[in-house]
């Protein structure tokens, strides 16, 4: 059962929220082919004819009077860096309970929890107009707690930070020395003139032999569809402070067309360099993004 952001927000600490998100996600998979999760959050599957009897969990049988087989995690050499855009535009929200940064941090935390359960090495990085930090990738529980602390601090940072993804990601490509899966969470809200530079930085990561997933995080109803309730708004750029008066109904059609074209072109550029590009909305559950991430992981091990 998936918990809503409203309920999750009442739980103290990102680590416990990540655990609850993952438990709900795993429970939703039911009898899917996704085995091999850590026994901590996916320890059983129903017994099938031919399974080794020694793996039956008799305690589970005593509780449910059905046979269940223990599942054990597989140790892998997969290394993953979770990379959060901390620019001020990521703090936008209108209808969503979480802003884009909070949504991304909870999604990243759930991924970290999943990977640590697999004994994968997990690292963390954050950026705005520069790369702020890199927490190296390790697979211990103690290290995971450090990552959760850094993510929470990142969520609560001050506003007024600009975006310059390209420079930060170029530096990241140079500083990650071992081949890794790099998962980037960003709204891509920066100057249009910088988009070629951003593609170049993503290409740099691929040139360094890293696998890349880019999650384009937006509040779909407002930021993609311009679906607003009133006739006129004063919109403020969260990074520059610049304000603009807008009548949504007058510009909606052109806005949607231009944004759709931009996303299409960006996706094509990512496809060219074998970069996974996924659009996700803060108005939806985390499950689709977790499923995509899980599929990517399975292809790499």
Q: Which two tokens stand for residue 227?
A: 């679906």
Close Cβ partners of 10 (under 8 Å, ≥ 6 residues apart): none
pLDDT per position as a tens digit, 19-53 = 999 988 888 765 454 444 443 334 555 666 666 66
- Cα 213 from Cα 210, distance rounded (Å): 10
What's the Cα-to-Cα distance from 63 to each of 57, 59, 67, 74, rounded to whole Å? 10, 6, 10, 27
Domains and CATH numbers, the chain: 39-72 (no CATH), 79-300 (3.40.50.410)
pLDDT average, residue stretch 237-245: 75
> What are the E-state strand segments in the chain?
44-46, 68-70, 79-85, 121-127, 131-138, 181-186, 211-218, 233-236, 243-246, 276-281
Q: Which residues of 249-263 are buried (b: 16+ CB within 10 A; e: fewer)?
A: eeeeeebeeeeeeeb
CB 98 within 8 A of CB 5: yes
pLDDT average, residue stretch 56-76: 63
- Cα 176 from Cα 183, distance rounded (Å): 13
pLDDT average, residue stretch 121-143: 92
- Cα 193 from Cα 226, distance rounded (Å): 23
Which of the two residues, 167 and 44, has the higher pLDDT score? 167
pLDDT at 42: 40
pLDDT per position as a tens digit, 45-56 = 566 666 666 667
CB 1 within 8 A of CB 131: no
pLDDT at 231: 82
In this predicted structure, which of 221-225, 231-235, 255-259, 279-283 has the lowest mean pLDDT? 231-235
- Cα 88 from Cα 158, distance rounded (Å): 8
pLDDT at 54: 66
pLDDT at 34: 45
pLDDT per position as a tens digit, 261-295 = 989 999 999 999 999 999 999 999 999 899 889 88
């Amino acid at each position: 059962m998936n918990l809503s952001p409203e309920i999750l927000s009442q739980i103290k600490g990102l680590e416990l929220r990540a655990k609850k998100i993952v438990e709900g996600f795993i429970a939703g998979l039911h009898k899917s082919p996704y085995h091999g999760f850590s026994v901590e959050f996916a320890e059983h599957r129903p017994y099938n004819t031919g399974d080794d009897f020694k793996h039956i969990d008799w305690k589970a049988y005593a509780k449910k009077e059905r046979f269940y087989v223990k599942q054990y995690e597989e140790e892998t050499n997969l290394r993953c860096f979770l990379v959060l855009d901390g620019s001020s535009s990521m703090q936008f929200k209108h209808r969503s309970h979480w802003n884009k940064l909070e949504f991304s941090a909870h999604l990243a935390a759930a991924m970290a929890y999943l990977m640590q359960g697999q004994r994968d090495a997990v690292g963390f990085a954050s950026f705005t107009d520069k790369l702020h930090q890199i927490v190296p990738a390790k697979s211990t529980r103690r290290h995971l707690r450090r990552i959760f602390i850094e993510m929470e601090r990142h969520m609560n940072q001050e506003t007024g930070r600009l975006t310059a993804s390209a420079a930060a990601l170029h530096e990241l490509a140079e500083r990650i020395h071992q081949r890794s899966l790099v998962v980037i969470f960003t709204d891509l809200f920066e100057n249009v003139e910088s988009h070629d530079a951003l593609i170049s930085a993503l290409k740099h990561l691929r040139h360094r032999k890293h696998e890349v997933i880019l999650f384009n995080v937006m509040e779909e109803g407002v930021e993609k569809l311009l679906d607003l309730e009133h006739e006129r708004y004063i919109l403020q750029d969260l990074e520059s402070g610049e304000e603009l008066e807008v009548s949504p109904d007058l510009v909606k059609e052109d806005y949607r067309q231009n944004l759709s074209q931009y996303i299409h072109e960006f996706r094509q550029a990512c496809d060219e360099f074998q970069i996974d590009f996924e659009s996700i909305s803060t108005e939806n559950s985390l499950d689709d993004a977790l499923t995509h991430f899980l599929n990517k992981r399975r292809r790499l091990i």
